[in-house]
Chains A and B, each alone.
Chain A
Amino acid sequence: MQTFETGLLDLTAIPLGELRVLRAPDLDSAIAGERHRAEQPDEDAVQVQANVGNGFGIPA
């Protein structure tokens, strides 16, 4: 089966106790990415579907 490797670290199997003290260059890089993301404006955070009949295509 063809698969693509993504940029997201697979932390699903790492227990929380281990994750708390985990040190790894990949993790440092991913944390830096999250910090950068958190600093950016997030205009697309919420998708809103307006009522039809309450204004055409006008999101609240």
Chain B
Amino acid sequence: MHEELARHRVPRSLLEEFHTGPVSERAIAVLRAGQLSRRKLQLRTLLDLVEGAAAEEIARAWQVLSAAERRNPVVTDELLLHPSVGVWLTRTLRKVSGGLADSTPFWAELGYFSSVAAAAAIRTGTPCTLTVPVVHGVTTLPTVGQLRLPTAFPIGTAELRAGPRRAVLRSGNPAVSVDFTARSATSGFTPARRIVAGPPPWTLTVEVDDHGPYREFSAPVPPRLLDSVEQAEWAKLLGEAFDILATRHPAYAAEISLGVTTLVPLDAGAPVSGASASSAFGAVAACPKASATELAEVLVHELQHSKLNALFDLVSFHDRDIPQRWFYAPWRDDPRPVPGILHGIFAFCSAVEFWRYQRRHGSAEEGRLADFHYALRHRQVRQAIDVLSPGAGLNDLGREFVDSVDRRLAAAGSDEVPGDIAEVVTKLTVEHRASWLLHHVRPDTAAVTALADAWLTGTAPGAPTDVPGSIVPCCRSVRPAARVGLLQAGLSGQPGSRANPTRQPADDLAYACGDTETAVAGYRARIVTNPQDDQAWLGLGLAMATRPGHEDNVLVRAPHVALAVRDRILAQRRTAVPATEFAEWLGAAVRVPTGIS
């Protein structure tokens, strides 16, 4: 019996490194050690939770893994730290604990541990016999490769016998088998593939995970092995991306070469450019359609999430005992908790630094793209820091962290970008916040009623009043407007070019093109036709906001209040609400800012 087990200690210098963005090899080692402890703890928790035959299966695989560890602990540590093991452990524990239910058979999930142990045995030359799962027709041995048995059945189990130099996977009756070594491809075996990139003295070595069931950080997915052309394209793209980092962003290149271990190629049709997961330290999923510059930014961005996830397993930046509060995140449509905001400001601050430097390189078109990213992310991080400051429950470490991002943002300047780009960024960010308020904030009913009654009785606004609001996710349905796409298309000088311009709402097109008066007239006409057309009201506020002195009008500052009061007026008397007059009256009646909790 141990009296007391040691706990991880975090040097103050590690936190100070986080304050600057990129971190050192020593810091990555501290984070990785924390992740190893967490995986071991999760494994032991799983052992304690499972019973019966499942417990026997875990125990058998544990014995093999333990024997492999005695031969070479570096290999077993590497396997335990493999991103797939983190995703698998987190999913399996949640399933055993009742926190997750899906259609994946539990035996297949649990059996992945035997695959991990088998991989360790093969890599260390530890003789063993294990039953491993066959899912989607294949058995995956993390860091070793994928085996496809020459049988028709897509799911089941197979027996894996590993010797000092060779291994055999057998299944079915009559038995079929795949005989393989860990390094050579055969008809049934595809070894794990790696890409090595980087100009000397830099080296980035990543496993290309196109086959692991947990590679997309979720329920098991079928393998999608890259063909030789795709492999070559990924190697080229990653090489070019890492060259950009090594030559222009060396501090980020250094930490990426240490921290990113796995690249997950996403399907070209995926609507994301990059992804990472709290349970998969070191893994970055990326979409192949990204340019080398965009892939470089994805690597920088996603590693910040990975680092922060690992740091949050060691220290907390906020008081976990206070009730969870939700905040506005300018880069997301949904309300986010404090850790989500911290993740966003940290990752996007790195994006600001990245794009600021990229503005000086590349073609004119690439320069405009960099300008846009720089200005957009800069504005978003600024907004988020301002939202987070009061009442977020940050502790001293959390406040220091936010202050450090604030300093980095200031150091990244507020550089001039071309006027049309600055205008689009302003319009996008103002619209996003207004839409979010409308979608997720419910204003106080009594205050709304009082305002509606005052309007209906023709009462002139008195002293501006507070209208408290509560965050109630998705409390009002908000249809997407065409404006957003038109604004982005306008950056390339082609507003409305994405689709037939004649099919776009004329008011949205006018707004995107900067024709305020046409836009205002169009939105007002829509409101006359349909007084409950929320997007017309929002569009009217956005168009009015482009007029000097009206930037903060009530329809963009507090659209949730304005439209709730409008709804109340329409419910009481089915009379038209003159939009501009109403907005001016309400703007005088409601104080800035409205409280949200």
Contact = CB atoms under 8 A, between A and B. Distances in A.
The CB with the most chain A CB atoms within 10 A, among B36, B217, B273, B301, is that of B273
Contact of B484 (A34, A44, A55): A55
B45 A9 contact: no
A6 B6 CA distance: 10
Nearest to A54: B271
Contacts of B218: 46
Interface in B521-579: none
A58 B332 CA distance: 6
Given A20-B44, A54-B271, A12 B277 contact: no
A24 B45 contact: no
A47 B277 CA distance: 6
B9 A3 contact: yes
A22 B494 CA distance: 66
A23 B314 CA distance: 22
B276 interface: yes
Nearest to A31: B45
Contact of A45 (B7, B217, B287, B347): B217
A47 B333 CA distance: 14
B5 A9 contact: yes
A41 B407 CA distance: 34
A60 B5 contact: no
Interface residues of A, number: 49
Contacts of A19: 40, 43-44
A41 B272 contact: no
Interface string A34-52: 1100111110111111111
A49 B331 CA distance: 9
Contact of A16 (B66, B94, B217, B376): B66
B19 interface: no
Contacts, number: 192
Contacts of B76: 16
A1 B62 CA distance: 38
A17 B432 CA distance: 54
B99 A40 contact: yes
B10 A3 contact: yes
Contacts of A7: 7, 314
A48 B333 contact: no
B414 to A, nearest CB: 20
B293 to A, nearest CB: 12
Nearest to B298: A49
Nearest to B431: A56
A19 B80 CA distance: 14
A25 to B, nearest CB: 8
B9 A11 contact: no
B37 interface: yes
B300 to A, nearest CB: 11
B200 interface: no
Interface string B4-35: 11111111110100000000000000000110
Given A46-B218, A51-B273, A8 B7 contact: yes
Contact of B69 (A15, A35, A56): A15
B69 A49 contact: no
A34 B4 CA distance: 18
A12 B41 contact: no
Q: For the complex, would chain B's binding face be called helix, strand, loop or mixed by DSSP majority? A: helix
Contacts of B9: 3-6
Contacts of A52: 273, 372-373, 376, 488
A47 B272 contact: no
Nearest to B273: A51
Interface stretch (B244-252, B336-344, B398-406, B462-470): B336-344
Contacts of A16: 40, 62, 65-66, 69, 76
Nearest to A53: B488
Contacts of B73: 15
B66 A15 contact: yes
A51 B94 contact: no
A8 B4 contact: no
B41 A11 contact: yes
B95 to A, nearest CB: 9
A45 B312 CA distance: 13
Contacts of A1: 11-13
Interface in B43-86: 43-45, 47-49, 59, 62, 65-66, 69-70, 73, 76-77
Contact of A9 (B41, B272, B339): B41
B287 A51 contact: yes
Nearest to A23: B1
Nearest to B1: A23
B96 interface: yes
A47 B276 contact: yes
A57 B275 CA distance: 14
Interface of A: 1-12, 14-17, 19-20, 22-24, 26-27, 30-31, 34-35, 38-42, 44-60
Given A40-B99, A46-B218, 9 more contacts: A4-B10, A10-B5, A12-B36, A22-B44, A26-B2, A31-B48, A35-B49, A48-B272, A60-B270
Those 8 A-B pairs whose CB atoms lie nearest each other, nearest first? A38-B97, A2-B12, A24-B2, A38-B93, A17-B66, A3-B9, A34-B45, A16-B66
16 contacts: A1-B12, A6-B9, A6-B10, A9-B7, A10-B6, A12-B36, A16-B69, A24-B1, A24-B5, A31-B41, A35-B49, A44-B340, A46-B277, A49-B302, A56-B488, A57-B331
